[in-house]
Amino acid sequence: MWVLHRLSTAYQPQTSGQVEVLNRGLKRILERTIGENRASWSDKLDDALWAFRTAYKTPIGYTPYKLVYEKACHLPIELEHKVYWALKQANFDLAAASDHRKIQLNELNELRKLKTHWSGPFTITKVFPYGTVELSQASGPNFKVNGHHVKHYFGGNVPQLDCPDYEVSRAFIFFLHSQELHILSFILGI
């Protein structure tokens, strides 16, 4: 898109017709809002700018706000209306709101700070050179991980796998916060 850039001074705004259109629109809005007290125009300038930027412009087919931010703007009255209905709904049915909040908390349980970062147990089916171990799980394929990243399992009973040729152990899997890598730990022996 080709844009012709011209410099102008505050004393000579006629250089830019678009600035004149903006100033004329702001002047009209300010004249209608300040009324008799013309000294308070600076107090109303933010509101006038908001009104100008959110008003639909026929020549361009959009509001200036939508052109700049590429989304529709929500007027303060629209937000106030949404808040009013949300509060009204919450105040009328406290039991339903409480149940809804409990469901939300259960859904977010995966993201809690104090939630354990370990899952498992897994069974070590083979130990390779340089510290690599192969883990097996009851419902899924075997996979290999670095043996330095596995941890002892001291929990309850673990279902035994049929691995007559391999030394078998129990293990846990640890998920990093970055969710890119799974780190595992192990204990040799049963």
**Sequential pLDDT tens for the chain (190 residues):** 566 777 777 676 666 777 788 888 888 888 888 877 777 788 888 888 888 888 888 888 888 888 888 888 777 777 777 778 777 776 777 777 778 888 877 766 655 665 666 667 777 888 888 888 888 877 778 888 888 777 777 766 655 555 544 444 444 443 322 232 233 333 333 3
Q: How far apart are CA 82 and CA 92, in angstroms?
A: 16
CA dist list (Å): 138 to 141, 143, 148? 8, 12, 22
pLDDT value of residue 109:
62
- pLDDT at position 1 is 53
Tell me the three state secondary structure of residue 85. helix
Residue for token pair 């808040």: 83
pTM for this predicted structure = 0.35
Q: How far is CA 80 from CA 33, 85, 97, in A?
A: 22, 9, 20
Q: What is the pLDDT of residue 187?
A: 34
pLDDT value at residue 164:
47
Helices and strands in the chain, H and E counts: 5, 5
DSSP for 124-137, please give it. Answer: EEEE-GGGEEEEE-
pLDDT for 179 = 30
Q: How far apart are CA 135 and CA 145, in angstroms?
A: 8
Contacts of 172 (CB under 8 A, 6+ apart): 118, 119, 120, 121, 122, 150, 151, 152, 153, 184, 185
Q: What residues contact residue 166 under an 8 Å CB cut-off, 6+ apart?
A: 124, 125, 126
